[in-house]
Amino acid sequence: MTPAEAFAAIPLAAVCCDSNFGREEAHILKEQLIHRSPYKNMTPLAFGELIDGLLHLFRRDHWQELIRQAVPALTAAQQELAYGLAVQLVFCDRVVKPEEATFLTTLGNELSLPPGRAAQIKEVLAMLQRDVLIGEPGA
C-alpha cells in the first residue's frame, strides 16, 4: 500500500466501520482529503479510482485488515494526522456508535504514537464537536 492509499484508507475505514457509508460521509471524507497532497493534484477520476480501490479492499477484508495494511505505510506524523481525521469523521455527527468506538480504540492501539497521544487527539476533537449552545437564548 502506498502512503497516499494508506493515508486515505484510515479515514475511509472510519466512515465505513459501522457498515453505513452514506453520501454525506463520502462528501466529508472527500473534503478532508482533496485539499491535501497528493490528492489535490489528482484528477477527479484518479481520486475516485483510489477511493473505489480502497472500498474494494474494505469490502473484501473489512476495516481491521485495511488499517493493518495502512499503518506501516505511514510515518508517525502521517499516522497522527490520519487518526485525527478518523476521529473527526466519527464525531462529526455527534453520535459515536459502538462499532465506531471499537474502531477508534483498535486504530489507536495500532499506531506508533507516544503513550496517551491518541487519547489526547480524541479528547480534543470530541470537545470541538460538542453542541454547547443548545437551549441558550439566541442560539
Buried b / exposed e across 7-26, counting CB within 10 Å, b at 16+?
bbbbbbbbbbbbeeeeeebe
pTM of the model: 0.88
Nearest to 64 by CA among 106, 19, 29, 116: 106
Quick check: helix, strand or coil at residue 112? coil
CATH classification of the domain holding 91 = 1.10.3680
Interval 92-138: pLDDT, tens: 877 889 999 999 999 999 999 999 999 999 999 988 877 777 766 66
Interval 65-100: pLDDT, tens: 999 999 999 999 999 999 999 999 898 877 889 999
139 in any annotated domain: no
80 in any annotated domain: yes
47 in any annotated domain: yes
User: What would the grid cell of residue 69 be?
Assistant: 495494511
Contacts of 104 (CB under 8 A, 6+ apart): 14, 86, 87, 90, 122
